Amino acid sequence: MRCRIGVYVCMCGSNISDYVDVEKVREIAAENPCVVLAKTTMFACSDSTQKEIIEDIKVNELNAIVIASCSPKLHLFTFRNVAERAGLNPYNYVQVNIREQCSWAHSDNPKFATLKAIQLVKAGIDKAKNSVSLEPIMIKAEHSALVIGAGITGMKAALALANTGTKVTLIEKEHYVGGRIAQWNRLFPHNDPAEKLVKTLYEEIIINDNIYLYTGAELISKSGSVGNFIVKIKIKPRYFKSGYLIEQCIEKAIESCPVEFDDPFNYGLTKIKAIQQNHIGQFPYYPVIDMSKCTKCGICTDICADIDLEQKEEELELNIGAILIATGAESYQPPSGEFGYGVIPGVITLQMFRRLIDLNGEKLIYNHKQIKRIAYIYCVGSRQYDGENQYCSRYCCTAAVHTSLIVKEKFPEIVNIHLTRGVRTYGKQEILYNKSNLQKDIYLQFDDTPPEISEENGMINIKVVDILTVKKTIELDIDLVVLVTSMVPRKNKELENILKLPIGRDKFYNEVHPKLKPVETMIDGVFIGGNCQAPMNISESVKSSLSAVSKMNALIGKGEIQLEPSLATIDKSICVWCDECTKICPSDAIIKTEYNGKPVAEINEANCKGCGMCLPVCPTNAIQLIGYSDVEIESMIDALASYSPEFTI
């Protein structure tokens, strides 16, 4: 039993003290015979107060402390470090949340907020009294990482990890790296070609001895735990024997291939064969056969001996310390009829339009018609009040404005008309918006009433209620409508199931906390970066992935990992192996083993999160949670039940 406890009640400026009588809380806390010191403080987290607490612990020989302040999500480790610097075991510190749970929750009833704070502090004191000194668990960590996705984000992350000395396996599901960037060609804000960026990163990767790049590869299984994941990767063949091909041979093979279909890279604007050479901006510069289209007619093998249609998939097993997900996002695909898409021939998406620009020469031609007037409709599939995608995709406005600049530069006679719901070219991207205005682009703004689109005599008619002209209805005759579509999560159920990735309300992969743990997931050792997490532009995606790199390096760079000791523990002498705990565990942390010749459950410490879900399902009460034992929890319940008469409501 610990009977030299210090209690600190934080005012948090006025966040707590405006609604909670902190002096009353301190007075009642001081009445507990185990409390030898009770104080109020303006900001418990400030440097001066931290130094004061350290001094108090040393002078008063405190063997536990209770700090009543904000959520432990914010300052749990702050005060653990304070305890440690004072020579006190950090797990003999208890934080009580009287800001979010009392002050903010009951600002309409200060008396009740104070009563609740008193009871919570009492419970915290009893928990501290029964707390035990714990030591972190140390496990071995492989100094290697798996990066899933070889777009710009994944390649930058792989290079950064490799430069720290980490062995990196970089896998890409497609046969070419760079993601969708190559389809956009020129990138904002610098206007450089995408090919230059992708080529630079690819060339750096292939000469880096710490990076192993596999294209046509995907994760098919994961086992183990943080620091020592065992992953299996499936690698699809390209159906070519060597990397040194005679271009003339390949050209003839492609020309002779009888299978032709719409080229997805160019959004169906051109055709492609089952034997494919990479497009400009795609690397490696090496062909591949699309076996989902190939009929194995054998014509190509007669022309080019390097083609092998019987190549098989390979599997690779690796030991990995940490995993980064950088799988990117997809563009919203409008359903048939949305703004005339799929019904009116002159309605296309922004992505398709960018390919159309690159494929045209001196004049912009679409459907055998010269384009002179273009309308861009913003927020298609984004900010939907009655749809799934209620978020703003952020990058779309800048992408549309930048495209209009490219159009005007290449086809000066074209008129650009932007139909927006408010332009969000944030930061330095505002420069692009200004250039668009200077080149006399027209901007109209609609609200919740979307533009109406119809077609007559080969011309597209748009009616829009423009709030910039006091809600006048404006009619436009347009040659081409470009739908500025949003970013949506990439569909990859298999990967999500393998890694147990948490999904947010927006369907993107979810971080633990947007400020405190912005690139970490609930699965230890699994990180996220870039557009798989949220809509971002290239710069933001790269910064996100580099943040994940710093976290991964800190985790596995030392060769061992420190884990929280607040884990489940099993008394094997009374365990009857009913299997109920394994069914309920969300982290695969419970395994079957033997004890004295009988089957029992055992905790895999590396996987256990200390969530406690296994405790209530155990019929023999064989499971306890270290740091939250029955003794500690029952003492807290008793404290919560003992009301102060003068504050009873």
For 421-442, give the DSSP string: SS----GGGHHHHHHHHHTT-E
Query: Token pair for residue 592?
Result: 């079957």
Torsion 278-284-289-293 (CA) sign: negative
What sign for the dihedral angle of Cα 351, 355, 361, 366? Answer: negative
Pairing outcome for strands 442-445 and 415-420 = parallel
Cβ-based burial of 454 (10 A; exposed 0-12, middle 13-18, buried ≥19): exposed
- Integer-rounded Cα Rg, in Å, for the chain is 31
Q: Is the dihedral of CA 430, 433, 439, 445 positive or negative?
A: negative
Give me the CATH topology for the region 331-488: FAD/NAD(P)-binding domain (3.50.50)
Higher pLDDT, 73 or 632: 632
Beta strand pairing status for 598-603 and 590-595? Answer: antiparallel
Q: What is the pLDDT of residues 130-156, one digit of tens each?
A: 988 988 888 899 999 999 999 999 999
Contact present, 484 and 376 (Cβ < 8 Å): yes
**Per CATH, which fold does 5-134 belong to?**
Rossmann fold (3.40.50)
Confidence grade of residue 2 (pLDDT, cut at 50, 70, 90)? low
DSSP class per residue in 185-226: -B-TTT--BHHHHHHHHHHHHHT-TTEEEEESEEEEEEEEET
Region of 8 (left: φ > 0; alpha: ψ -120 to 50; beta: rest) is: beta
User: What phi-psi label fits residue 159: left (phi over 0), alpha (psi between -120 and 50 degrees) or beta?
Assistant: alpha
* Residues 73, 68: Cα–Cα separation, whole Å: 13
Give me the torsion for CA of 348, 352, 355, 361, rounded to 10°.
-10
Give the model's confidence band at 643: pLDDT under 50 very low, under 70 low, under 90 confident, else very high: low
Domains 144-236+313-328+490-556 and 331-488 share a fold: yes
- In this structure, the number of other CB atoms found within 10 A of the CB of residue 110 comes to 15
pLDDT band at 388 (very low <50, low <70, confident <90, very high): confident
Tokens for 264? 């997805």
Q: List the domain boundaries for the chain.
A: 5-134, 144-236+313-328+490-556, 247-303, 331-488, 564-626
Does position 20 have pLDDT exceeding 60, yes or no?
Answer: yes
266 backbone dihedrals φ, ψ, rounded to 5°: -100, 20
d(CA 294, CA 288): 11
CA distances (Å), origin 357, targets 184, 232, 273, 351, 369? 10, 41, 22, 10, 14
Grade residue 243 by pLDDT with cuts at 50, 70 and 90: low
pLDDT in tens, 438-484: 999 999 999 888 999 999 877 899 999 999 999 999 999 999 999 99
Give me the CATH code for the 564-626 domain, please: 3.30.70.3270
Give the pLDDT score at 624: 92
Whether the predicted pLDDT of 638 surpasses 70? yes
Report the range out of 9-13, 251-255, 496-500 with the highest average pLDDT.
Answer: 9-13
Cα separation, 510 vs 533, whole angstroms: 6
User: Closest by alpha carbon to 5, among 126, 135, 132, 133?
Assistant: 126
Mean pLDDT of 389-396: 91
pLDDT in tens, 39-58: 999 999 999 999 999 999 99
Task: Tell me the pLDDT tens digit for each residue of 312-362.
Answer: 999 999 999 999 999 999 999 999 999 999 999 999 999 999 999 999 988
Q: CA–CA separation, 465 vs 445, rounded Å?
A: 8
The pLDDT assigned to 649 comes to 46
- Whole-number mean pLDDT of the chain? 92
* E strand map for 28-186: 35-41, 64-69, 93-97, 137-140, 144-148, 167-172
Quickly name the fold that domain 144-236+313-328+490-556 has: FAD/NAD(P)-binding domain (3.50.50)
Name the nearest CA neighbour of 274 among 301, 245, 246, 247. 301
Please give the DSSP secondary-structure letter assigned to residue 176.
Answer: S
Tell me the C-alpha distance between 29 and 535, whole Å.
48
Predicted local distance difference test score (pLDDT) of residue 31: 93
Q: How many percent of the chain have pLDDT more than 90?
A: 75
Confidence of residue 24 (pLDDT cuts 50, 70, 90): very high
Q: What pLDDT, in 10s, does the model give residues 550-603?
A: 999 999 998 888 888 888 999 999 999 999 999 999 878 899 999 999 999 999
